[in-house]
């Protein structure tokens, strides 16, 4: 009877490890392998994945927040003086970034967050969401990461944080 073969590839930032061999080894050692790669990656100072390894507290530090910002989309929209659909989309995205500590967020997350801002959202904003989202990207306030995934534009983080703290 032959031992089943397995193949795995782990990539974290610039670190990439491939294994091909016994399935028994992977079953017994996979968690130790992932932990070792994570530690190696942390030492390499590759911030792209460190935020995933270390969690929301690290994302706050990347954003320079220091302490956790709290608030609803209504509160963020008020602080940012949102007056139209594009501004409310940016406020919703800012809430996802600063309050929920998400570096990336989806089209649906932004839409849902915008719709939760009952003091600001109206039917026209809901109807024009897709077009307004494209406008916010064209204004370089959000970055389109592809696959209906977005992030705050790096140039807007400090300015926005100063307005909502």
Domain assignment present for residue 62? The answer is no
pTM over 0.85: no
Nearest 5°: the CA angle 153, 161, 109 is 55
Q: What is the pLDDT of residues 98-125, one digit of tens each?
A: 998 898 999 999 999 999 999 999 999 9
DSSP 8-class letter at 122: -
Q: What is the pLDDT of residues 30-41, one digit of tens each?
A: 777 777 777 666
CATH (domain of 149): 1.10.10
Instruction: Give the tokens for residue 55.
Output: 């969690």
Cα–Cα distance between 94 and 97 in angstroms, integer? Answer: 5
Domain enclosing residue 112, as ranges: 69-164
Instruction: Give the tokens for residue 28.
Output: 């017994």
Cα–Cα distance between 73 and 100 in angstroms, integer? Answer: 11
Q: Are residues 41 and 93 in the same domain?
A: no
* Number of domains the chain contains: 2
* Of residues 146, 150, 116, 119, the one with CA closest to residue 132: 150
Q: Are residues 26 and 102 in the same domain?
A: no
Beta strand ranges found along the chain (DSSP E): 5-12, 15-22, 105-106, 142-146, 149-152
Domain assignment present for residue 60? The answer is no
87, pLDDT greater than 60 = yes
Instruction: Give the tokens for residue 56.
Output: 């929301």
């Amino acid at each position: 009877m032959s031992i089943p073969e397995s193949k795995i590839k782990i990539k974290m930032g610039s670190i990439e490890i491939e294994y091909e061999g016994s399935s028994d080894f992977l079953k017994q050692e996979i968690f130790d392998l992932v932990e070792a790669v994570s530690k190696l990656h942390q030492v390499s100072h590759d911030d792209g994945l460190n935020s995933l390894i270390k969690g929301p507290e690290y994302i706050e530090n990347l954003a320079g927040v220091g302490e956790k910002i709290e608030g609803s989309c209504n509160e963020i929209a008020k602080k940012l003086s949102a007056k139209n659909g594009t501004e409310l989309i940016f406020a919703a995205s800012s809430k996802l970034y600063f309050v929920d500590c998400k570096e990336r967020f989806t089209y649906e997350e932004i839409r849902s967050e915008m719709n939760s801002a009952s003091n600001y959202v109206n039917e026209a904003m809901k109807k024009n969401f897709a077009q307004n989202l494209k406008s916010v990207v064209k204004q370089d306030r959000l970055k389109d990461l592809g696959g209906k995934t977005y992030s705050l534009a790096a140039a807007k983080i400090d300015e926005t944080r100063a307005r909502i703290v």
